Amino acid sequence: MKKNIVEKIWENHVIDNSSNGISVIAIDFGFLHEVTSAQAFQTIEDRNIPILNPKQFIATIDHSISTSENRNETFDHAAKKQVELLRKNTKKHDIPFFDFDSGYQGIVHVVGPELGITQPGLTIVCGDSHTATHGAFGALAFGIGTSELTHVFATGCLLLHKPKVMKVEFKGERPNGVFAKDLIMKLISEIGIGGATGHIIEYTGNVIRKMSMEERMTICNMSIECGAKGGLISPDETTYSYLKNRPFAPSHKNWDKLTNYWSSFQSDPNCNYDTQVTIDINHLNPMVTWGTNPSQAIEINGFIPKDSEISESEKLMYQKAIDYMKISPGTKIEGTKIDWAFIGSCTNGRIEDLRITAEILKNRKIHPSVTLYIVPGSESVLKQAKEEGLDKIFINAGADFRMPGCSMCLAMNDDKVPNGKRCISSTNRNFVGRQGTGSYTHLASPATVAASALEGKITSPLKYL
Ligand SMILES: CC(C)[C@H](C(=O)O)[C@@H](O)C(=O)O
Ligand code: SF4
């Protein structure tokens, strides 16, 4: 029988199928961060259960930490407690922990792939919704809750319903100025925040095949924003050459055998999907959100929608978003004044994102009324950026180039957009107050963010490319 990639990984990991549609699935790897792991550690300790395989996990710190130079010292009390608890728990249970200045610290979804831990065909979990990112390598990766994490600690398994599978194909040629971020934002704006609920998305087609691993991660990362449990891309030569020589990737000895095995994680031609979506990107422009969820996005040369263009079922959400965002229906989104700009996060905090940012900022100054934070996704991204001299370009442009972490993506730390200020951001969520109480967020690609920071208003990157 023909199978899609999700079915293949699933069948490879089924330990038991029960009669009520729930299966016991083996989990290969788990990532931990300071916000969602403490309760799971506490539960297994209270019940006196050991962690079955501590080497099946790695932990790092990202969400609540400071991104200032002296980040070790500038902790608020609650954040410090979270970090210290994770340090203590990982030490006690012998789980590798990537602390400040280990060389491996960073946002969990940036760190896993760049260390070569994320590999094709694996099942990967983390107490974090953007675990979908790891799907870019052909892994079945998804976020779990704290009680599920307790199960994985104790048993290395999870009880799961088999997900449905949606095939998404981007068709055409990518126009200049249009990046992976624009493609995924376009998909979400088409199918809506619940469009892929209950599904894992498989991204297919030539546009995806030509993408780097960084771009594929940006795509898979935002799968969750249209309701999907995860998103993945079948592995190919791009995947294998990215993984080769990474610190935790398998050794070269049996590399051909290994890549042959990894290549088996492909959907069979003409296999079955529960849902299929095709997106034509031939005439796509850079995307930007106008509202308070990621589906409320338009092309940058478009107009903020009017009430008459909105379907009955979306009117309430629409009106709330318009009121909150203090924008005028029917006006052009391009040209909207911004006060802050942010480049970073597990969506767009990788080296390629910093390179395109540098290309646009080089020998230019950001607008005097704009504060631009550039936050690398990990210590290795930071190191690479410095080696390439990108830090100097950022600083010369007037940006604040900071230490790795989630930073202003969710403002659970010191980095916040002030009340009443408007930010253009390379992140994945524009919920009310996401970047700070009373702040306004417009999501876009790093190129659009950089161009907008130069102009002090929402600006297409085309002018600078
Ligand atoms: C804190 C964490 C649970 C959360 C998530 O699950 O995604 C965060 O990473 C986010 O992006 O909102
Ligand atoms: S960078 Fe943002 S989206 Fe990613 S894990 Fe951190 S808070 Fe969540």
**Which residue bears the tokens 């249009």?**
178
Does residue 403 line the site of ligand 2, with CB under 6 A?
Answer: no
- Alpha carbon 210 to chain centroid, angstroms: 20
Taking the centre of ligand 2 as the mean of its atom positions, its distance from the CA of residue 412, in whole angstroms, is: 10
Count other C-beta atoms under 10 Å from residue 47's C-beta: 9
Give the bridge partners for 14, in sequence order: 25
Q: Which ligand is nearest to the CA of 125?
A: 1
| Inter-CA distances, 38 with 21, 45, 347, 462, Å | 31, 11, 25, 45
Taking the centre of ligand 2 as the mean of its atom positions, its distance from the CA of residue 76, in whole angstroms, is: 19
Q: Is the CB of residue 306 less than 8 Å from the CB of residue 458?
A: no
The residue whose CB lies within 8 Å of the most ligand 2 atoms, and thus the one to mutate among 34, 63, 431, is: 63
Does residue 341 line the site of ligand 2, with CB under 6 A?
Answer: no
Residue 129 CA: nearest ligand 2 atom is 8
Residue 130 CA: nearest ligand 1 atom is 7
Q: Is the CB of residue 168 less than 8 Å from the CB of residue 187?
A: yes
pLDDT at 38: 96
- Using only the alpha carbons of the chain, give its radius of gyration: 21
Does residue 143 line the site of ligand 1, with CB under 6 A?
Answer: yes
Q: Which ligand is nearest to the CA of 405?
A: 2
pLDDT at 18: 79
> What residue ranges define each of the domains in the chain, with the CATH number in brackets?
5-161 (3.30.499.10), 164-280 (3.40.1060.10), 288-458 (3.30.499.10)
Per DSSP, the residues of 390-431 read: HHHHHHHHT-EE--SSSGGGTTSSS--PPTT-EEEESSS---
Taking the centre of ligand 2 as the mean of its atom positions, its distance from the CA of residue 268, in whole angstroms, is: 33
* Cα-Cα end-to-end distance for the chain: 48
Closest CA to 279 of 197, 204, 217: 204
| Inter-CA distances, 17 with 24, 82, 149, 162, Å | 6, 37, 20, 10
| Token duo for residue 145 | 């809750």
ipTM for the predicted complex comes to 0.99
* Strand, coil or helix: 191: helix
- Alpha carbon 114 to chain centroid, angstroms: 14
Does residue 222 line the site of ligand 2, with CB under 6 A?
Answer: no
Taking the centre of ligand 2 as the mean of its atom positions, its distance from the CA of residue 377, in whole angstroms, is: 10
Please tell me the number of Cα atoms within 13 Å of 135 on its side-chain side.
31
Cα separation, 59 vs 127, whole angstroms: 11
Taking the centre of ligand 1 as the mean of its atom positions, its distance from the CA of residue 387, in whole angstroms, is: 31
Does residue 430 line the site of ligand 1, with CB under 6 A?
Answer: no
Does residue 428 line the site of ligand 1, with CB under 6 A?
Answer: no
For ligand 1, atom 8: residue with the closest CA? 128
Per-residue pLDDT of the chain (465 residues; tens, 9 = 90+): 899 999 999 999 999 997 788 999 999 999 999 999 999 999 999 999 999 999 999 999 999 999 999 998 877 888 999 999 999 999 999 999 999 999 999 999 999 999 999 999 999 999 999 999 999 999 999 999 999 999 999 999 999 999 999 999 999 999 999 999 999 999 999 999 999 999 999 999 999 999 999 999 999 999 999 999 999 999 999 999 999 999 999 988 899 999 999 999 999 999 999 999 999 999 999 999 999 999 999 999 999 999 999 999 999 999 999 999 999 999 999 999 999 999 999 999 999 999 999 999 999 999 999 999 999 999 999 999 999 999 999 999 999 999 999 999 999 999 999 999 999 999 999 999 999 999 999 999 999 999 999 999 999 999 999
